[in-house]
Amino acid sequence: MNTLALCIPAYNAEAFLPRLLQSAKDQIIPFDEILVYNDCSTDKTALVAAQYGVTLLNGNINKGCSYGKNQLAAHSTCKWLHFHDADDDLLPDFTEKVHKRLKANADKYDVLLLNFNYVDSETGNLLGTANHNITELHTDALKYAISNKIVNFGVYKRQAFLDARGFDLDPDVLYNEDNALHQRLAKYGLKFDYLPEITGINYRYNSSMSSSNRLKCIKAQYYVLKKTAATHGKIYPKELADQLYACTPLFAAESDWLYVKKALKLCAQLGNDYTVNGGRLFKFLTFLHPFAAVWLREQMIRLFKPHLRKHA
C-alpha cells in the first residue's frame, strides 16, 4: 500500500503554517500522516501545529531544515514521503494526482519529482514551473541532477531515502541542500520519475534564505559539484565543468575572486571541457587565461551596466 506522509520542517512559521496545514487537511485523499518538525521556533509555530492535530516533533537545538527533514523521515511510518516548506502551498488534488502516479509506477521508481507553479508572493504573478525532462530523468538521473536545478518538491520512497542517508548535513552544502540531495540519491542508484501535472505552489519571497544569502548559495553549489566531481568526475566531466564554470560570473559579481579561482581550478582538473558563451575575443581570452577573461567581463559589466550590480 502506498501510504503518503506530509513532512514539514518549520522555523518561526506561524504566519504560514495555517495555510499549508489547511490545504493538507482539505485534500481529496487524506495524507496518512502529517508531521511538523519545529526547529526551536521562537514564535507560535508549535502551538499552530498542535491546533491542527499533526504529529509534532520539537528540536532541542536549531539545526536547520536538512536535519529537520531527516528527523521527519526517521519518525514517519509511511512508505512515501513528501517534504514541503511551511511557506509554500498544496493544490486540493495533490494527493489524488500523486497516488494515481504511484499506483502506476511505484514499483519502478524511488523518487517522483513533482511540477509546481513558481509564484511571486507579493504580486501573485506566475514566474515559471519546474518542467523537468522525463526522458532525461529516466535515462540518467545523476547526469540530469548535475545539469539541472531540482527543487525539493517531490515524493520519496522512505526506505530508499534512508538507505541513501537522506539530506547531506555537511555545512558546506547547507544553502544548496536540494541539489546535494538529488545528486546523492542518484549516486545511490535511486530511480527518478516525474509527474508533469501541477500539484503545488512554490512562493518566491524577497527575504527568503536563498535571496538573503546569495553568495552562500553559490559557494554551496560549488561544494555540491566538488563532491560529485570527486566520485563521478571521470564519468561526467563536461556536465560538472559546465556547472562550475557557470558559477564563476556569479562569484565575480560578488567580488569573490578566490572562489572564481577555485571553480576554474576544478574545471581544469576535469579537463576544461566547458561551454563558453560570448564573442570570439572573449572565447579566445578564455582559452588563454580563464581567470583574466572572467575578471575582464566583470569589470566591463560594472563599467557599462552598473545597474546589474546594485545588489553587490
Query: Which residues, in sequence order, are CB contacts of 103 under 8 Å at separation 6+?
Result: 2
CATH architecture of 4-210: Alpha-Beta Complex (3.90)
pLDDT at 311: 54
Domain boundaries, the chain: 4-210, 213-309
Grouping H, G, I as helix, E, B as strand and the rest as coil, residue 116 is: strand
- Helix/strand/coil (H, E, C) string of 217-264? HHHHHHHHHHHHHHHHCCCCHHHHHHHHHHHHHHHHHCCCHHHHHHHH
Give the tens place of pLDDT for each residue, 212-233. Answer: 689 999 999 999 999 999 999 9
Give the tens place of pLDDT for each residue, 46-88. Answer: 999 999 999 999 999 999 999 999 999 999 999 999 999 999 9
pLDDT at 276: 95
Beta bridge partners of 129: 117
* Cell (9 digits) for 276: 563558453
Q: pLDDT below 50 — which residues of the chain?
A: 312
